[in-house]
Structure 1
Amino acid sequence: MTALDEATAPAPPLRHNRDFVLLWTGNWLQFFGSRMSTVCYPLLALQISGGSAQAVGLASAAAVLPQAVVQLPAGVLVDRWDRRAVMRWCAIGRVLVLAAVAAAMALHGLGMGLLLVLIAADVSLAIVASLAERAAVRTVVPASHLPAALSQNEARGRIAGLLGGPAGTVLFTWLRWSPFLAATLGALIAAVNLRYIRADLQAGPPERRRPLHQDLADALRWLRGQQALRAMLPVVTASTALLQVVMLGLVVVLVKEQGQPESTVGLVLGISGCGGLLGALTGRWFMDRLRLPVLLIGGLALWAVLMAAMAVSTGALLLGVLFAVMNLIGAVFGVATAVYQVTTTPHGLQGRVAALSGLVIALGSTVGASGAGKLLDAWGGRSALLVAAVGMALTALVAAAVPAVRRARIPAVSRPGPAPAG
């Protein structure tokens, strides 16, 4: 076969892409373990403290704080260093952290102070590894397979969310330290898999070390020049904040206003999780048939309609189905926006741009959760859902009014080679 034939030959399916399979499976096991440990940290804090709700709040804060503190420096490091090495050291670090949790529990030596430090370390390492993997996917798969690869990554997260929480609580009930040991094994397999990936995951050629703020300024300067991405980021952030009203509003409507048992909330979330998984698996199908502006603006409008329907609906099953459709749309959003961000961002800026976007959206979620609590206290569950539906409809109208969003297209890109940052 000539060089021209090799260049024009269709790429093999993702399941035959050795590097992608190693990356996907290793990180799936690690992600699954992360879901198990995350759901068990508050339970562990409750046990250690003798039933203190304040301890549960501290454990939750230790898991949330790295989202604000670690994102930006992590994005810079991912763009400076070999991304394979970053993911391997993060996996090894998580092995040590999770093994320390399991060992301290087995030896009855785990106190609240040590637990908070270990939670923050675990979440911080997971954030860095996630940014490095997202940047590495574009290197290990050809451009034509990027939507499918990111769809599978989205599905991986949805499956881990569906199964990891229940599995973690079952193991925690059986042996308190067992979910953390299982998560340790997942991180260990991820570290081993990364050893056998052949692709060059170096972000770019070595450069003169610069101050952190200069590297971040490069990403901000590039982001300011991207009209569509700059316009879509606040739209996605606003919609994410409004979704917090739905998440908390469901609990208020089901438990407080309808008098349903707490287990009903788990049923609704389980049904909705199936919708999210279906959306992740069909994300590429929708992208092949609908342009990005249609997916974004139409999805926001459908969210508004579904939120209004939830406000006037009764019964856990119907609410679960409506929320499942919302999650399906959200998963398609996740795939489409990830593909757009990865394909438009230069290879050397992948980590920083993803970190900046993630930080803004995380802050939006935090503000949304805080505002949702006040809104629910003042208006009640159903009225709050109607207010959120109006807000979502306005967000869709704003997105439709921005020319850069209406013109946004996912570009066709080639597999990147090492490129300088900036």
Structure 2
Amino acid sequence: MTALDDTTVTAPPPLRRNRDFLLLWTGNWLQFFGSRMSSVCYPLLALQISGGSAEAVGLAATAAVLPQAVVQLPAGVLVDRWDRRAVMRWCAVGRILALGAVGVALTLGALGMELLLALIAVEVSLAIISSLAERVAVRTVVPGGQLPAALSQNEARGRIAGLLGGPAGTVLFTWVRWSPFLAATLGALVAAVNLRFIRADLRAGTREPGRALHRDLADALRWLLGQRALRAMLPVVTVSTALLQVVMQGLVVILVKEQGLPEATLGLVLGISGCGGLLGALGARWFMARLPLSVLLIGGLTLWAALMNAMAWARGPVQLGVLFALMNIVGAVFGVATAVYQVTVTPQELQGRVAALSGLVVALGTTAGAFCAGKLLEAYRGLLSLLVAAGLMAVTAAVAALIPAVRRARIPDAARPAAPPATPPDT
């Protein structure tokens, strides 16, 4: 018997047999699917309540976006201080009450704009807090070597919910106005029940009692600024996400306004592109096992620039849908890779705050990008706007390639998926 025989290491079970991960994943998938259904119905509900006011639709959209800026930072501190299981459970209970209140008030004819906007803000805020807590919990219930697969499955979960949740929500809303909110309530209920049966210890580490919130945030910001790769990648990802808004809004302008196609055509394009995002999420682990993070990020931005340039010259919904699907494949791959990198290099006690800080920066960039994209498309139409955005994306890729910390960025070996071994030649 050799020393190696005495120290055999038992491999962790695959994710499909990881009970805690499956409970967390399925519960939050149903909850996320419910969020997709309810979010697509909020503007429709605002339009109905207001008697067809476009301003009311804008207010509903604002109520859904505003928590991204207001709630992120305190949510990050909360997640790092409290038991993540309790945080997710109480968020699920809160969402059950908020979504149930929408359905009940709607049934009783008592739902006004003020109440709707308040309930939207509450429900979205609780979803943000729960999402941060789940992201931290994944690292606890999944071994480091399985993190890429776990986060890839989470990304795929979001893509599937995006593909199916919107259409399902609109169909249910057309059938019975309160039905999508009931379905979302049931999803949150399942998530709350699943959390009860997770065995892993999801409590946060010890902390200094009575510590001010701003001191906790300052600790996370100080750590983040001390990480050269993360500090460099965050603005690169933020700028690229902002430029992506030109594509999102440009599809509407090109298809409906400039090419005169029916509005339903946009659904076809988004359906094709959504399939691309799902493929990218499922294939992210394969790419991560073969390419370093720097290649995935810089190469992904370069491909985005080329595809945006091609979209400017594309004609017809199928061509635009296929090109946008390719963009979604690329985005899902380097999105999962950067998420794995952030989760693995961030200390466990800072996970929530670092994720919140990063999410806030990207959200602010997305908001600014959406505003500037509208101005750009108004001034220069679809073709020229896409060409401008493609040029700026190419510049972003070049800048990223010039930053040494980005070029040297590597996912830690403990979290890097192993490439399949080469087959030995026959002898």
Do the two structures share a fold, i.e. TM-score over 0.5? yes
Q: Deviations over 1:17-41 (max 9, x none)?
A: 0000000000000000000000000
CA distance in 1, matches of 2:163, 2:396: 29
CA distance in 2, matches of 1:8, 1:100: 52
Q: Which runs of 5+ in 2 are unaligned?
A: 416-427
User: Which residue of structure 2 lines up, in the alignment, with residue 274 of structure 1?
Assistant: 275
Shift of 1:202: 1.0
What letter is aligned with 1:369? A
Length-normalised TM-score, structure 1? 0.96
CA distance in 2, matches of 1:7, 1:168: 51
CA distance in 2, matches of 1:344, 1:278: 26
User: Which residue of structure 2 lines up, in the alignment, with residue 162 of structure 1?
Assistant: 163
Within-5 A mapping of 1:139-158: 139-158=140-159
CA distance in 2, matches of 1:39, 1:342: 30
Q: Deviations over 1:166-206 (max 9, x none)?
A: 00000000000000000000000000000000000112124
Within-5 A mapping of 1:117-156: 117-156=118-157
Change in 2 beyond 3 A, CA 1:106/1:407:
same
CA contact (8 A) 1:84 1:201 kept: yes
- Report the identity percentage: 78
Change in 2 beyond 3 A, CA 1:7/1:150:
farther
User: Which residue of structure 1 lines up, in the alignment, with residue 62 of structure 2?
Assistant: 61
User: Which residue of structure 1 lines up, in the alignment, with residue 291 of structure 2?
Assistant: 290
1:406 matches 2:411: no
Off by >6 Å, runs of 4+ in structure 1: 4-7
What letter is aligned with 1:273? G
Shift of 1:8: 1.5
User: Which residue of structure 1 lines up, in the alignment, with residue 360 of structure 2?
Assistant: 359
Q: Deviations over 1:222-272 (max 9, x none)?
A: 011100000000000000000000000111111111111111111101100
User: Which residue of structure 2 lines up, in the alignment, with residue 255 of structure 1?
Assistant: 256
1:113 matches 2:114: yes
Q: Which runs of 5+ in 1 are unaligned?
A: 415-422
Q: Deviations over 1:95-149 (max 9, x none)?
A: 1110111111111111100000000000000000000000110000111110000
Q: Helix, strand or coil for the counterpart of 1:289?
A: coil
CA distance in 1, matches of 2:313, 2:57: 33
CA distance in 1, matches of 2:345, 2:9: 23
Length-normalised TM-score, structure 2? 0.95
CA distance in 2, matches of 1:313, 1:413: 43
1:213 matches 2:214: yes
Change in 2 beyond 3 A, CA 1:213/1:106:
same
Change in 2 beyond 3 A, CA 1:179/1:401:
same
User: Which residue of structure 2 lines up, in the alignment, with residue 313 of structure 1?
Assistant: 314
Q: Helix, strand or coil for the counterpart of 2:211?
A: coil
Shift of 1:207: 2.9
What letter is aligned with 1:321? V
CA contact (8 A) 1:151 1:284 kept: yes
Shift of 1:412: 3.3
CA distance in 1, matches of 2:386, 2:54: 28
Shift of 1:6: 8.8
User: Which residue of structure 2 lines up, in the alignment, with residue 417 of structure 1?
Assistant: none
User: Which residue of structure 2 lines up, in the alignment, with residue 36 of structure 1?
Assistant: 37
User: Which residue of structure 1 lines up, in the alignment, with residue 234 of structure 2?
Assistant: 233
Change in 2 beyond 3 A, CA 1:109/1:299:
same
CA distance in 2, matches of 1:7, 1:145: 19
Shift of 1:52: 0.5
Number of aligned residues: 411
User: Which residue of structure 1 lines up, in the alignment, with residue 323 of structure 2?
Assistant: 322
Q: Deviations over 1:288-346 (max 9, x none)?
A: 01110000000000000000000011111011000000001111122101100000000
Change in 2 beyond 3 A, CA 1:12/1:368:
same
CA contact (8 A) 1:146 1:339 kept: yes
CA contact (8 A) 1:275 1:327 kept: yes
